[in-house]
Amino acid sequence: MQMLVQGWIRGSVRLEGDDIVLTPKGSDYLLPGQELPIQLAGVRSPGEAVAVAQRFGLLRKGWKETTQTTGDLREPYDDWRQVALDLNHIMGLVLDLRLAMSGNTNGVERLRAARSKVIQNDPADDDDRVQQWATITIAALMTQGIGDVEYRLEVIHRRDPSRPVELGTWMRTLAPATMLSAAYGELAEYIDSTQARELRHCADCDRIFLVGDPRQRYCNTTCANRAAYHRRAQRRRSRLRNEPALDTDSDLLYAR
Ligand SMILES: [Zn+2]
């Protein structure tokens, strides 16, 4: 179902001390899409948090603030960083569970390690028990993250001012209370979807990304270029030492 909010607060975003600060400049639709949880999970610096806030707005300030707010809105960067860590934890569990279910022992071992941090000294941690724990834990963490969502029936607006509303037609939507709630909602759609796209760790920066092309190894062109640069430098060094190149991999594909 469509995740959509009208009147989502937007503005220009900057870093002020340890805070992400948004100066409201009106409102727009929030149409999060699958990119939102990936973008949020990828935040590793205040600058990256500013870039995501510029595109989507703030984590916990959305349409409910639109009518009551004048002046700047702010959120501590620490909050953004924690959100990124939480999302990475969940996506890591999803990734490892999928690996474990396909018979990959590394996936099972990482799930077992994650479980032993929560459930200590349990001798009954066979593979099946570990995967059941992961399935239940993902559901619980996701439900907690989704939080407040309104189920709505909305009218469909037209551009024609003489007939501004489509007659007798409505659209069912989910209106998340916050952008964070929207991100979890989108991730839930993705995890639960029958056309689920594969999640993968970037071979360069280790961020989790949505795989567009099965050959894709890097999360974006920056990482693909950096990896290519390192491979070229390595080949140059090998040639200088008159040794055969160690890495002749030319898979630089970045496709979306
Ligand atoms: Zn990367």
pLDDT given at position 127: 94
Closest among 86, 90, 84, 64 to 20, alpha carbons compared = 84
Q: For residue 145, what pLDDT band results from cuts at 50, 70 and 90?
A: very high
Q: What is the mean pLDDT of residues 107-129?
A: 90
Q: Are residues 151 and 82 in the same domain?
A: yes
Q: Are residues 96 and 206 in the same domain?
A: no
Residue 73 Cα distances to 45, 70, 197, 234, angstroms: 19, 9, 35, 48
CB atoms within 10 A of CB 209: 24
CA of 89 to the centre of ligand 1 (A): 17
Bridge partners for 157 per DSSP = 165
CA of 97 to the centre of ligand 1 (A): 22
Q: Which of 146, 162, 196 is the last residue of a domain?
A: 196
CA of 199 to the centre of ligand 1 (A): 13
pLDDT tens-digit map of 41-94: 999 999 999 999 999 899 988 766 655 567 889 999 999 999 999 999 999 999
CA of 218 to the centre of ligand 1 (A): 5
Q: Are residues 191 and 160 in the same domain?
A: yes
Q: Are residues 81 and 168 in the same domain?
A: yes
Helix, strand, coil percentages (3-state) for the chain, rounded to 5, are 45, 20, 35
Q: Are residues 159 and 173 in the same domain?
A: yes
pLDDT given at position 30: 74
Q: Are residues 103 and 229 in the same domain?
A: no
Q: Are residues 124 and 241 in the same domain?
A: no
Q: For residue 243, what pLDDT band results from cuts at 50, 70 and 90?
A: low
**Torsion angle (degrees, nearest 10) of CA 202, 207, 212, 217:** 0
CA of 253 to the centre of ligand 1 (A): 12
CA of 83 to the centre of ligand 1 (A): 19
Residue 208 belongs to domain spanning:
201-256
Q: Are residues 220 and 117 in the same domain?
A: no
Cα–Cα distance, 56 to 178 (Å, whole number): 11
CA of 208 to the centre of ligand 1 (A): 8
Find all residues with CB under 8 Å of 67, minimum gap 6, and list them: none
| Cα-only R_g, the chain | 22
100, 107 Cβ separation under 8 angstroms: yes
pLDDT given at position 113: 93
Domain count, the chain: 2
Q: Are residues 127 and 233 in the same domain?
A: no
CA of 204 to the centre of ligand 1 (A): 5
Q: Are residues 123 and 94 in the same domain?
A: yes
Cα–Cα distance, 90 to 168 (Å, whole number): 41
CA of 167 to the centre of ligand 1 (A): 47
Query: Model pTM?
Result: 0.82
Q: What is the mean pLDDT of residues 8-37?
A: 86
CA of 17 to the centre of ligand 1 (A): 27
Q: What is the mean pLDDT of residues 139-164?
A: 91
CA of 186 to the centre of ligand 1 (A): 21
Could you give the percent of the chain with pLDDT greater than 90?
Answer: 50
